[in-house]
Structure 1
Amino acid sequence: MIAFVFPGQGTVRVGMGGWLRRDPVGAAVVARADEVMADVLGEPVSQLCARGPAEKLVATDGAQPAVTACNLAALAVLAERGVVPDVVAGHSVGELSALCAAGVLDVEATLRLVGVRSRLMAAVPGTGGMTAVMGPEPAQVAAWAAEVSTPEEPLVVGLENAPDHTVVSGAFPAIERVVALASEFPATRKVVALKVGNAFHSPLMAPAADAWAEAVRAVPMAEPRVPVIPNTTAEPTTDVAVLREALIEQLTARVRWSETMRALADADTCVEVGDSKVLAGLMRAVGTRCVSLADPAAARRLEPVG
Structure 2
Amino acid sequence: MLAFLFPGQGTLRVGMGGWLRRHPAAASVFEQADAILEMPISRLCARGPVDDLVATEHAQPAVTVCNLAALAVLRAEGHAPDIVAGHSVGELSALYAADVLDLATTLRLVRVRARLMAEVSGTGAMAAVLGVPLPQVQRLVETVSSDAEPLTVGLVNAPDHVVVSGAAPAVDRFRQSLGATGKLAPLKVSNAFHSPLMAEALGEWERVVRDQPMRTPTVPVVPNVTATPTTDAEVLRESVISQLVGRVRWAETMRRLPADATCVEVGDSRALAGFARGAGLRCLSLSDPASVRRLAGAVTA
> Normalised by the size of structure 2, how large is the TM-score?
0.97
CA offset digits 1:248-301 (Å, max 9, x no partner): 000001100111111124342100000001100111112111000001111123
Secondary structure, in 3 states, of the residue corresponding to 1:21?
Answer: helix
- Structure 1, residues 47-95: CA drift from partner, whole Å, max 9, x if none? 0000011111111111100000000011111111110000000000000
Where does structure 1 differ by over 6 angstroms across 4 or more consecutive aligned residues?
none
Matched residue, 2:94? 98
Contact between 1:126 and 1:197, CA under 8 Å: does it hold in 2? no
Q: Which moved more, 1:227-236 or 1:257-266?
A: 257-266
Report the counterpart of residue 286 of structure 1 in structure 2: 279
Structure 1: distance between partners of 2:31 and 2:230 = 32
Q: Is 1:77 the equivalent of 2:73?
A: yes
* Whole-Å separation in 1 of the counterparts to 2:41 and 2:240: 24
Deviation of residue 114 (structure 1)? Answer: 0.2
How far apart, CA to CA, are the structure 2 residues paired with 1:212 and 1:36?
19
Question: Structure 1 stretches of 5 or more lacking a match?
Answer: none
2:51 to 23, 48, 55: 55
Counterpart in the other structure of 1:163: 159
**Cα displacement (A) at 1:140:** 1.5
The amino acid that maps onto 2:37 is M
Secondary structure of 1:290's aligned partner: strand
Task: Please give the alpha-carbon distance, in whole angstroms, between the structure 2 residues aligned to 1:184 and 1:26.
Answer: 45
Question: Is 1:201 paired with 2:197?
Answer: no
Is residue 259–residue 280 contact of structure 2 (8 Å, CA) maintained in 1?
no
The match for 1:254 is 247
SS of residue paired to 1:78: helix
Q: Does 1:44 align with 2:40?
A: yes
- Greater mean deviation of Cα atoms: 222-231 or 292-301: 292-301
Structure 1 position 180, deviation (Å): 1.2
Partners of 2:295 and 2:128 lie apart in 1 by 33
Counterpart of 2:294, as a letter, is R
Question: 1:2 maps to what in 2?
Answer: 2
Give the residue type in structure 1 aligned to 2:15: G
Match of 1:122 in 2: 118
Contact 1:2–1:267 (8 Å) recurs in 2 = no
Indicate the residue corresponding to 1:224 in structure 2: 217
Counterpart of 2:232 in structure 1 is 239
Aligned to 1:295: 288
Question: Across the two proteins, how many residue pairs are aligned to each other?
Answer: 299
CA apart distance, 1:126: 3.8
- Distance between the aligned counterparts of 1:60 and 1:73, measured in 2? 20
- Give the direction of change, closer, same or farther, for the CA distance of 1:147–1:13 in structure 2 (3 Å limit): same
Mapped contact 1:3–1:267 kept (Cα < 8 A)? no
Q: Which residue of 1 aligns with 2:144?
A: 148
Structure 2 CA distance, aligned partners of 1:211 and 1:124? 12
Letter matched to residue 71 of structure 2: L
The 2-side partners of 1:184 and 1:22 are apart by 47
For the residue of structure 2 that corresponds to 1:11, the secondary structure is: coil
Give the SS at the match of 2:185. strand
- Paired position in structure 1 for 2:28: 28
| Identity level (%) | 62
Residues 265 and 163 of structure 1, relative CA distance in 2, 3 Å threshold: farther
- CA–CA distance in 2 between the matches of 1:257 and 1:128? 22
Q: TM-score, normalised by structure 1?
A: 0.95
| Secondary structure at 2:10 match in 1 | helix
Gaps of at least 5 residues in structure 2 are none
